[in-house]
Amino acid sequence: SVQPGLWLATGHGLARVDLSSPVQFYDSSLGLRDRVQDLALYQDKLYVGTDAGLYALEPASIPGRLAHFKAVDDSEGDRRALLVVGDELLIGGGGFGGLDVLRGTEDMQHLTVPGYIVDLVASHDGSVVYAPSIYEGVQLLARRDGQWTDCGQLQNPETGEAFTVGGMAVYRGQL
């Protein structure tokens, strides 16, 4: 990480804990708007999903000053779930209607996915992503021909399926 330490997401910003120095707190005074929802280290840069959009931690331009957060272009709205898969950062949330995929630092692509995505969980090999949402169940996304594709909802109500999402055991089906 560019700024090593333990990063803590709070309702009012981020705190970085370094055992050999005081805690640093990042909030709106350093460019971070609204409530932090998720964070991910992608291509040696810290990305933060908030209720107001996606932010990236930029190094300080003047020695002795703190690093600051800068909004990522075209990322306004709720960014609730971040997941690094291979060389891509997947960004899910609500309000903007789907999933954004960041490749590098400039190439942002949008995939329309129904629902309000609250988490992103990759399969072991990274070829499938489960995207649980508040209103539409769990969407399946698969990587095909270098692009992410919406494969619809997780289905099998007759026998049901058990799986783990965000560390929680989930059952979908009829009991």
More confident: 61 or 3: 61
pLDDT per position as a tens digit, 4-48: 677 877 777 787 777 677 667 778 888 888 888 899 999 999 999
> Can you give the pTM of this predicted structure?
0.77
pLDDT per position as a tens digit, 102-129: 998 778 888 888 878 888 989 888 888 8
Long-range contacts: 94-100, Cβ < 8 Å, 24+? 94/133, 94/134, 99/131, 99/141, 99/148, 100/54, 100/74, 100/75
Distance in angstroms (rounded) separating the CA atoms of residues 143 and 150 = 9
pLDDT per position as a tens digit, 47-103: 999 988 899 999 888 888 888 999 987 777 888 899 999 999 999 987 656 788 999
Helix H or strand E segment including 89:
strand 88-92
What are the start-end ranges of the H helices in 6-90?
A: none
More confident: 139 or 11: 139
